[in-house]
Structure 1
Amino acid sequence: MVSYTPLPVSSQGLAQRAKPSSLQVGLYMVAWIVSSNITILFNKWLLDTAGFTILLVTWHLVFATVVTQILARTTTYLDSRHELPNSWDFYLTTVLPIGIVSSGSLVASNFVYLYLSVAVIQMLKAASPVSVMIVSWLFGVMDPTIGKIANILVIAMGVAVASAGMIEFSVIGFIFQMGGLAFEAVRVVMTQVMLNGEGLKMDAMVGLYYYAPVVAILNLLVAFMIEVPHFDMADFHRVGFPTLFLNAAVAFTLNFTSMVLIGKTSGLVMSLSGIFKNILLVICSVIIWHVTITPMQLLGYSITLFSELKPFLHDSVPSPQLA
């Protein structure tokens, strides 16, 4: 997915394994970083070529639905799903609400690629810890402290400075990006509250198994209202099915590498990897699309990155992952 965020996942749902070697950890990190950035850059190219962001994301989810259904029936990778309730109550009170906010997150976060560059989007995404912490406080799953509030204010200041330094500021793009962050924050916290609150565990692949069909249907309904009336088969032929198939396969690979990284390492490693991944993505955006980064943007982004790294450098307080 263009602005990719893995569907609901609980690292507690992954089996405990032997501690991997430093080389293995490095390989897992590289695999996730490469698959994530390739997915984003690949999708950015597709959007520039044909547009139709919602239909593209819906295609990813349909592909994920088919693959997870096949895996569930032919392998043991998704056997942990049998530990979850198989009832309408579970679907209506847990799967559907999280699916709705997941759909909102994907729609808003992908529309922004029509208005802002990849580099600018990654800088604005640095505000995700702010949105997640605020929503966590509102849901009562995290207690505010002076230190956390101060760190959030510094992150927000860095994002504000980076935004002020944009050469071509798009209000619509900024609104979509902030809306995407808000939806994503609600999704993350809702997943934590609903699953952990009921003592349930769900790893990434099982999360895809449950949520991909729901989000695909919701996104398709939105696409029918917004994009389908303007869809031209010439756009499809210009891209071609083999390219779309490869694109969906790359996006699915990202889900798998995300699951492996969390299962083999920890959320801390993934958070630190996410910061490094986004820095690389900004650099790639500058090289590929010749995006101009102003000194003010660099200053704001540097302030934000330092604020996100600070908890790890001091007391290892985890920071929400940047996707």
Structure 2
Amino acid sequence: MGDPEKYSEKERLSADIGSPVPDTTAPILPTVNPEVRKDEKPGSKIHPAFYVMTWITLSSSIILFNKWILDTAKFHYPVTLTCWHLVFATVMTQIMARTTTLLDGRKTVKMTGRIYLRAIVPIGAFFSLSLICGNLTYLYLSVAFIQMLKACTPVAVLLAGWAMGVEKADLRTLINVSFIVIGVVIASIGEIKFVLVGVLYQLGGIVFEAMRLVMVQQLLSSAEYKMDPLVSLYYFAPICAFMNFCVAAIFEIPRIQMADVYYVGPWILLANAMVAFALNVSVVFLIGRTSGLVMTLCGVLKDILLVAASIAIWGTPVSALQYFGYSIALAGLVYYKLGGATIKAQLSELNRAWAEYGAKHPAVRKVIVLGSVLLFLFLVLGGLAPKVGYDSTYLTSVIKEGDKAT
């Protein structure tokens, strides 16, 4: 008897030789029956960058819009303005719930009268207080300084979560967020137009917002109460509008005159409410098309742009000490929200992408580097250079004295 392994090998070779050569030109038959194959939903053709830019634009616009109405246009009724926003949001969410699918998420929420009174109403109260304090701040502080103070919001949320037992206290996390507090304190010391009342209103708004966010986290800890921002607005807007109206009816509405409304303009107030509502709609799409990392970085970018816009539009004076303190606060904020590992991974990915871009477009890369260096030198030297110009007060006095002499 022969070796069985050799025999099987010999048998296999003879089978291969005798078999016909496969035709490579023949069409390949599908492995899945096209009759029962499910059609895949086409992906969105809109780039995620569009949703990012839309959210940054609307978020920045409503802040600058509110500042202009409450301060520049002299409509000194922040509670009434907030109430108007919430009334408009209530009407629009009711209409959208009946005409669109954007609010279909409310059908999965098991909302009862008891849950509404015990959960939604308290959250709505803190929501109203945060909005009222936030709008009152515009009467006293600049947009730039307000955004610097808002960097403390994650710290307030963390402390509120510890106090209410939602999260476990962690000394390492406390040390990380302490850099945010230190940066905001330095920025506050460097503030040229420091108004204590405005700072207290802003800090109050931050505390109320932190309490609201922690209570929402408690409510949403169960999957059956999961709500996107638009569905949340559907439930919170009516009770918040009612609470704000009660406050405005006591403190502001008796003092409002039609001349104040006409000075701002009814169409301006309508546009203001539409921008505020569009912001809530854009948040839904931004969350659906991007990630939490993108949301965090976009928030930091938005704050920086708002500081720049405040300087450009209102000529807000910002000291070098404020720049230094705000930079520390932003760095601490990014590190706290993303973590060291995520930041390191993203920097490595960014470095790889920059190297690939430089390999494909070396000339453009050199121009970008050179332009960045020149811009940095221009900003640094411009900040160190002395102010050039004339003293208008002194010149006016000299002219008046010359007129008296003649």
TM-score in terms of structure 1 length? 0.89
Matched residue, 1:123: 148
Please state whether the residue corresponding to 1:76 is helix, strand or coil. Answer: coil
How far apart, CA to CA, are the structure 2 residues paired with 1:20 and 1:154?
40
Residue of 335, 340, 349 corresponding to 1:314:
340
Alpha-carbon offset, residue 313 of structure 1: 5.7
Residue of 187, 192, 195 corresponding to 1:167:
192
Residue 279 (structure 1) aligned with residue 304 (structure 2): yes
Higher radius of gyration, 1 or 2: 2
Residue 249 (structure 1) aligned with residue 249 (structure 2): no
Alpha-carbon offset, residue 71 of structure 1: 0.8
How far apart, CA to CA, are the structure 1 residues paired with 2:91 and 2:78?
20
Equivalent pair of 1:32/1:254 in contact (CA under 8 Å): yes
Alpha-carbon spacing, 1:81–1:161, altered in 2? closer, same or farther (3 Å): same
Alpha-carbon offset, residue 149 of structure 1: 1.0
How far apart, CA to CA, are the structure 2 residues paired with 1:221 and 1:166?
35
Alpha-carbon spacing, 1:90–1:18, altered in 2? closer, same or farther (3 Å): farther
Alpha-carbon offset, residue 190 of structure 1: 0.3
Matched residue, 1:27: 50
Question: Within 5 Å, which residues of 2 pair with 1:73-152?
Answer: 73-152=98-177
Q: Which amino acid aligns with 1:24?
A: H
Q: Which amino acid aligns with 2:104?
A: D
Please state whether the residue corresponding to 1:114 is helix, strand or coil. Answer: coil
- Identify unmatched segments of 5+ residues in structure 1: 1-16, 318-323
Alpha-carbon offset, residue 96 of structure 1: 0.5
Please state whether the residue corresponding to 2:166 is helix, strand or coil. Answer: coil
Matched residue, 1:296: 321
Please state whether the residue corresponding to 2:225 is helix, strand or coil. Answer: coil
Q: Which amino acid aligns with 2:261?
A: F
Matched residue, 1:40: 63
- CA-to-partner distance for each residue in 1:133-160, whole Å, 9 max, x for gaps? 1011112222232321111211111111
Alpha-carbon offset, residue 168 of structure 1: 2.0
How far apart, CA to CA, are the structure 1 residues paired with 2:91 and 2:329?
39
Matched residue, 2:180: 155
Q: Which amino acid aligns with 2:65?
A: F
How far apart, CA to CA, are the structure 1 residues paired with 2:48 and 2:293?
12
Equivalent pair of 1:19/1:264 in contact (CA under 8 Å): no
- CA-to-partner distance for each residue in 1:3-23, whole Å, 9 max, x for gaps? xxxxxxxxxxxxxx99979x8
How far apart, CA to CA, are the structure 2 residues paired with 1:174 and 1:238?
28
Matched residue, 2:36: none
Alpha-carbon offset, residue 120 of structure 1: 0.4
Q: Which amino acid aligns with 1:41?
A: L
Alpha-carbon spacing, 1:189–1:57, altered in 2? closer, same or farther (3 Å): same
Question: Within 5 Å, which residues of 2 pair with 1:210-221?
Answer: 210-221=235-246
Alpha-carbon spacing, 1:97–1:74, altered in 2? closer, same or farther (3 Å): same
How far apart, CA to CA, are the structure 1 residues paired with 2:42 and 2:229?
20
Alpha-carbon offset, residue 31 of structure 1: 0.7
Matched residue, 1:13: none
Equivalent pair of 1:20/1:264 in contact (CA under 8 Å): no
Alpha-carbon offset, residue 224 of structure 1: 1.1
Equivalent pair of 1:98/1:190 in contact (CA under 8 Å): yes
How far apart, CA to CA, are the structure 2 residues paired with 1:259 and 1:86?
21
Q: Which amino acid aligns with 2:285?
A: V
Number of aligned residue pairs = 300
Alpha-carbon spacing, 1:185–1:199, altered in 2? closer, same or farther (3 Å): same
Q: RMSD in angstroms over aligned alpha carbons?
A: 1.8
Please state whether the residue corresponding to 1:116 is helix, strand or coil. Answer: coil
- Identify unmatched segments of 5+ residues in structure 2: 1-40, 344-406
- CA-to-partner distance for each residue in 1:83-115, whole Å, 9 max, x for gaps? 222421021011101101101111111101101
Alpha-carbon spacing, 1:66–1:124, altered in 2? closer, same or farther (3 Å): same
Highest RCO, 1 vs 2 (Cα 8 Å, sep ≥ 6): 1
Greater alpha carbon shift after TM alignment, 45-54 vs 118-127:
45-54
How far apart, CA to CA, are the structure 2 residues paired with 1:314 and 1:19?
33
Matched residue, 1:57: 82
Q: Which amino acid aligns with 1:112?
A: T
Alpha-carbon offset, residue 25 of structure 1: 2.3
- CA-to-partner distance for each residue in 1:40-76, whole Å, 9 max, x for gaps? 1111111121221111111111111111101111222
